[in-house]
């Protein structure tokens, strides 16, 4: 099975090739993105903090991503807990329906929200972007949290109740510590998704662009491309860092539950 | 414990409180999806029967938008092209993904599987916009690929068939949706009872015929899931056709955006969105129906 392994490694190279180019050209001393490389420079990175519009968009995006992460993780906890602990009527269709935003084309989510928000007379801004982002992040949070809640041994909670704890203190003292790695993982993933999301933000952001919307506006100007590469390098490095953190959390959660690792997030 | 003992006396009552507690807990996420997805989708459907005059809607129901959408060659072409490109992307993505999922499931030591899956998902979580833009940079006339190949001396003239056309859209989307295809196939392959494969070979099948007669049919639920999870979102992709598609690679989402944000014709945009969604759903249902025999059977 050597050929299969070779194919797998070539496939990984194909997957990583575009991202690998980012730092190469972010440090390249030329405005045109092409080989041969001309020289090393950190000029594009030092230019970044001097663009006020960029700084504003970063602040806006961080604000949106933090709120989105908290809200979608809370909704995810409700759904995952309900799915794992209780049987209720129409459980399967309800759970399926909640996961729909995962597969729906984002443009559909974006335009339908736009229409309804404008009809309600709401002004577009960070708040409307958060509404859209929570919608698409919640299914991811549920996917991550589901396995954690499903792996909980019900005997632990029953023991706490038998020993005189209230349902709320049981949840706080027993359940929460056991699922907290998954919760942190869900927070990090939804934060990452919100920070990178473009289409919904593009439609719902109004006059205050998020970072991806600002990036989109810059792609038209060839002279800005090296700066975009530098910014992209920072973004991708940040995302990868967050992901490694999320993955470490997920694994710690599995170890806490005493389970074998069976795969990734989804 | 107490609840269990009580449950023996009154199982129905317990079931009822279970029902209530579950519904109470699920009501928050469910309510959110209803308010932010179901209601807006219903609004889109409603508006598609309206017309717009600058900023105001004319709410007299009419089928004119639909008539225009199916008769205007531009809209028709965009819709068919979107379906064609999404289909091609799905085919390429799933064909490329299957061997990877197979490799990880069958030839990677169990302790290293999650590392492989993690490596495959990392690029997917990095900024989509940046990744698509990078493909534009790679495939461009004076781009990385052409300049690289010219520097090495493999080609003399830049290759022109790789940017600003449907090919570029297919390459870029196949790259973007790779993990979406790999994960469901991997999950299906992991579920296969390995003793079935041994049995097949003990009964005289070759390795190849075992693959086609045992492994592949059992992996089909994963393949079907992969096809749907790639096909449905790609048909509505906006960024990739816009950045690397050129005029011949534009898709229906680009037209929907133009109708909403440029032409101030939300009803037409809504109509196109509805038509796109209905077409996607019909194709998806047809595909599932065609693969019905693989989807039944013991879970």
Residue A50 lies in a domain: no
* Model confidence band, residue A261 (pLDDT cutoffs 50, 70, 90): low
What is the C-alpha separation between B142 and B137, in angstroms, rounded? Answer: 8
Determine the pLDDT at residue B56.
75
Q: Nearest C-alpha of chain A: how many angstroms from B227?
A: 12
Whether residue B83 has pLDDT greater than 90: yes
What is the C-alpha separation between B279 and B268, in angstroms, rounded? Answer: 16
Contact A203 B256 (CB under 8 A): no
What ipTM, to 2 d.p.?
0.85
Same domain, B34 and B119: no
Determine the pLDDT at residue A266.
45
Residue A187's Cβ-count burial label (10 Å; 0-12, 13-18, 19+) is buried
A36 sits in the region (left: phi over 0; alpha: psi -120 to 50; else beta) called beta
Determine the pLDDT at residue B30.
93
CATH of the domain at B155: 1.10.3720.10
Determine the pLDDT at residue B14.
65
Residue A84 lies in a domain: yes
Determine the pLDDT at residue A42.
81
Residue B123's Cβ-count burial label (10 Å; 0-12, 13-18, 19+) is buried
Determine the pLDDT at residue B21.
82
Give the count of domains, chain B: 2
Residue B61 lies in a domain: no
Whether residue B32 has pLDDT greater than 90: yes
Same domain, B6 and B118: no
Residue A33 lies in a domain: no
Write down the pTM of the prediction: 0.86
Q: Which residues are registered as beta bridge partners of B53?
A: B56
What is the C-alpha separation between A179 and A142, in angstroms, rounded? Answer: 13
* Model confidence band, residue A258 (pLDDT cutoffs 50, 70, 90): low
Same domain, B100 and B35: no
Give the count of domains, chain A: 1
Q: Which residues of B touch A74 (CB under 8 A)?
A: 28
Same domain, B141 and B206: yes
Whether residue B3 has pLDDT greater than 50: no
Whether residue A3 has pLDDT greater than 80: yes
Same domain, B94 and B216: yes
Residue B60 lies in a domain: no
Contact A33 B253 (CB under 8 A): no
Same domain, B154 and B263: yes
Backbone angles phi, psi at B264, to 5 degrees: 55, 40
Q: Nearest C-alpha of chain A: how many angstroms from B272?
A: 10
Residue B101 lies in a domain: yes
Same domain, B43 and B84: no
- What is the distance of C-alpha A23 from the center of its chain? 22
What is the C-alpha separation between A256 and A188, in angstroms, rounded? Answer: 19
Q: Which residues of A touch B37 (CB under 8 A)?
A: 100-101, 104, 109, 112, 135
| For residues B135-161, average pLDDT | 79
Same domain, B17 and B144: no
Reported as a single tens digit per residue, the pLDDT across B263-274 is 888 899 999 999
Determine the pLDDT at residue B12.
62
B 227-256 near A (Cβ less than 8 A): 228-229, 232-233, 235-239, 243, 253, 256
Neighbouring residues of B239: CB distance < 8 A, sequence distance ≥ 6: A198, A199, B128, B129, B132
Domain encompassing residue A67:
60-208+235-256
Reported as a single tens digit per residue, the pLDDT across B164-196 is 888 889 989 999 888 889 999 998 999 888 888
Q: Which residues are registered as beta bridge partners of A40?
A: A28
Q: Nearest C-alpha of chain B: how many angstroms from A44?
A: 16
CATH of the domain at A153: 1.10.3720.10
Flag whether residue B2 sits within 8 Å of chain A, measured between CB atoms: yes
Domain encompassing residue B15:
2-47
Q: Which residues of A touch B138 (CB under 8 A)?
A: 17-18, 21
């Amino acid at each position: 099975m050597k050929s299969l392994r070779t194919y797998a490694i070539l496939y990984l190279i194909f997957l990583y090739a575009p991202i690998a180019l980012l730092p190469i050209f972010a440090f390249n001393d030329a405005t045109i993105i092409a080989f041969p490389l001309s020289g090393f420079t950190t000029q594009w990175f030092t230019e970044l903090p001097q663009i006020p519009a960029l700084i504003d968009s970063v602040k806006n995006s961080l604000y949106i991503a933090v709120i989105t992460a908290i809200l979608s993780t809370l909704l995810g906890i409700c759904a995952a807990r309900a799915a794992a602990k209780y049987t209720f009527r129409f459980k399967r269709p309800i759970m399926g329906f909640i996961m729909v935003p995962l597969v729906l084309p984002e443009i559909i989510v974006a335009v339908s929200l736009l229409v309804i928000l404008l009809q309600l007379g709401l002004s577009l801004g960070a708040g409307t972007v958060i509404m859209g982002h929570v919608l698409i992040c919640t299914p991811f949070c549920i996917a991550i949290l589901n396995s954690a809640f499903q792996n909980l041994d019900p005997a632990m909670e029953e023991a706490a109740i038998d020993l005189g704890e209230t349902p709320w203190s049981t949840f706080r003292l027993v359940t929460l510590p056991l699922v907290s790695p998954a919760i942190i993982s869900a927070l990090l993933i939804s934060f990452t998704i919100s920070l990178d999301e473009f289409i919904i933000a593009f439609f719902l952001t109004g006059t205050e662009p998020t970072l991806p919307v600002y990036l989109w506006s810059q792609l038209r100007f060839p002279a800005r491309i090296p700066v975009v590469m530098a910014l992209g390098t920072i973004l991708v490095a940040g995302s990868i860092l967050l992901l490694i953190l999320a993955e470490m959390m997920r694994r710690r959660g599995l170890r806490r539950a005493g389970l074998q690792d069976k795969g990734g997030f989804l | 414990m107490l609840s269990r003992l009580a449950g023996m006396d009154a199982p129905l009552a317990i079931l009822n409180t279970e029902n209530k507690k579950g519904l109470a807990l699920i009501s928050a996420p469910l309510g959110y999806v209803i308010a932010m997805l179901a209601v807006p989708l219903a609004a889109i459907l409603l508006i598609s029967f309206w017309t717009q005059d600058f900023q105001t809607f004319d709410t007299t129901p009419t089928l004119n938008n639909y008539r225009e959408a199916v008769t205007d060659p531009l809209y028709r072409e965009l819709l068919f092209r979107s379906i064609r490109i999404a289909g091609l992307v799905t085919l390429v993505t799933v064909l490329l993904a299957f061997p990877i999922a197979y490799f990880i499931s069958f030839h990677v030591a169990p302790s290293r599987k999650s590392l492989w899956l993690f490596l495959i998902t990392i690029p997917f979580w990095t900024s989509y916009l940046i990744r698509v833009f990078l493909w534009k940079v790679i495939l461009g006339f004076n781009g990385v690929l052409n300049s690289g190949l010219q520097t090495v001396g493999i080609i003399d003239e830049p290759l022109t068939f790789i940017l600003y056309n449907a090919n570029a859209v297919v390459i870029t989307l196949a790259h973007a949706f790779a993990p979406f295809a790999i994960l469901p196939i991997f999950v299906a392959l992991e579920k296969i009872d390995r003793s079935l494969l041994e049995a097949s070979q003990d009964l005289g099948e070759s390795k190849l015929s075992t693959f086609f007669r045992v492994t592949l049919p059992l992996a089909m639920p994963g393949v079907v899931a992969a096809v749907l999870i790639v096909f449905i979102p790609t048909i509505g992709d906006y960024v990739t056709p816009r950045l690397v598609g050129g005029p011949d690679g534009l898709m229906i989402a680009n037209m929907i955006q133009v109708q909403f944000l440029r032409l101030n014709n939300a009803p037409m945009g809504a109509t196109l969105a509805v038509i796109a969604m209905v077409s996607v759903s019909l194709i998806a249902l047809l595909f599932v129906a065609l693969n019905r025999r693989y989807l039944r059977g013991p879970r």
